[in-house]
Structure 1
Amino acid sequence: MSAREVDAPIFGPAFQVELDTLFRWRRDVRHFRRDPLPTGLLDRLLEIANASPSVGLSQPWRFVTVEDPARRAAVRADFEACNTAALTTQEEARAATYARLKLAGLERAPCHVAVFVEPDPDQGHGLGRRTMPEAVAYSAVIAVHTLWLAARAHGIGLGWVSILDPSRIGTILDVPEAWHLVAYLCIGYPETDAVIPELEREGWENRRSINVLAR
């Protein structure tokens, strides 16, 4: 039997309930335990992320695991510099609260992964990019979300750090100049889990009901 003839799996009601639970328990984690991940688990999670859909099957994401202490320290320093600049343009108390939460992840998470996008990869032959070239970067974001869900399914937390200068992070990690930073991720076991997401508990913002326009 060829791959085309294999029956598709049937995902029954019990699985659908568990999948909905997984979506709802996905968290942007900021407080981590220092416990290392089991050997090989991060590689497995990245393999799952690599199966994400992408425009023209271009797979434009580029994963960089950041293990060198000096590079991690440089990333933290860049975060602190960017946050200092942000404090001059935002409500200071709210910005400081958010920064404190993000910095905790950078300091304690056992795994750091930077996700870059190659804007014009040869793979995919340019399909789907002519009118919406940004679909390449969107594909990398889908890979991040896939990684997020896969990690949560293993009880692993993921935090997305966005207060960074993309060009400086590229220099710190010595990646090709054409690559553009999409996400800097802290990964590890969360210190605590809660039904209410942390930003809601901290009073930053509340999740709103869906608003769908009909045309």
Structure 2
Amino acid sequence: MNFDAGFRAELLRLFQWRRDVRHFRPDALPDGTLERLLEIATLAPSVGLSEPWRFVVVADPTRRAAIRADFQRCNTQAACAQTAERAALYARLKLEGMEAAPVQFAVFAEGDPEQGHGLGRRSMPETATYSAALAVHTLWLAARAEGLGLGWVSILDPATLRDVLDVPESWRFIGYFCLGFPMLESDTPELQRAGWETRRRLPEKLLYR
């Protein structure tokens, strides 16, 4: 399969406009959208074709409230670890987006799945986790291509999430995600716009040996 220059240019534009969204409109997604995006996510590469990703859609209000309470606790701890100036900026960022996003789900990785027969995981068992992260990125791009935003809530306690969602102990927590229509669109990361951090040029992160 050959992809022409026009397709490659559009693909680059998709990469450039992919954002970690924190502010959502409350509008519901069209029927079947989430299921379609999750199917696309399963096209991601995985070590030994193990497909270790596990998706848990969280619709129950009680579970959502418990997860938000854990976020608030962890968020307070994270803010306390910053300088006073950084803490003030941190508090304004409203990282979670958990109030308005119509769809919320957690992603886990099965640590030692039978599928794949262990190929590629003997010396590096963490590749199962990497594979689940690739599924997230695949979903992220697919969502953006449909005008949707995805937000990664990382300020959570993995053990608490496993308990709240009642999943097997062998599942490793990857992240909690909010999905919906973004309040605004930009090709600049929100953390950069807010003055939290800036992107660095590739030469600062590249070595030749």
Cα deviation for residue 95 of structure 1 reads 4.1
Calculate the TM-score normalised by the size of structure 1: 0.92
Structure-1 residue corresponding to 2:37? 45
Q: Which of residues 11, 17, 34 in structure 2 aligns to 1:25?
A: 17
Cα deviation for residue 54 of structure 1 reads 0.2
Cα deviation for residue 97 of structure 1 reads 3.6
Q: Which of residues 136, 141, 147 in structure 1 aligns to 2:139?
A: 147
Query: 3-state DSSP class of the match of 1:85?
Result: helix
Which range moves more in the overlay, 29-38 or 94-103? 94-103
- One-letter identity of the residue aligned with 1:101: K
Structure-2 residue corresponding to 1:4? none
Among all aligned residue pairs of Structure 1 and Structure 2, give the percentage whose two residues are the same amino acid. 61
Q: Which of residues 83, 86, 103 in structure 2 aligns to 1:111?
A: 103
C-alpha distance in structure 2 between counterparts of 1:97 and 1:163, whole Å: 16
Cα deviation for residue 96 of structure 1 reads 5.1
Cα distance, 1:174–1:33 mapped onto 2, change above 3 Å:
same
Q: Which blocks of at least 5 consecutive residues in structure 2 are unaligned?
A: none
Cα deviation for residue 89 of structure 1 reads 1.9
Cα distance, 1:58–1:147 mapped onto 2, change above 3 Å:
same
Q: Which blocks of at least 5 consecutive residues in structure 1 are unaligned?
A: 1-8
Query: 3-state DSSP class of the match of 1:126?
Result: coil
Cα distance, 1:52–1:95 mapped onto 2, change above 3 Å:
farther
Calculate the TM-score normalised by the size of structure 2: 0.95
Counterparts of residues 195-210 of structure 1 (less than 5 Å): 195-210=187-202
Structure-1 residue corresponding to 2:54? 62
Paired residue total: 206
C-alpha distance in structure 1 between counterparts of 2:82 and 2:132, whole Å: 29
Query: Which digits, 9 at most, give the CA deviation of each residue in 1:24-80, with x for residues without a partner?
Result: 000000000000110001100000001110000000010000001111111110000
Cα distance, 1:197–1:59 mapped onto 2, change above 3 Å:
same
Q: 4+ runs of 1 displaced by more than 4 Å?
A: none
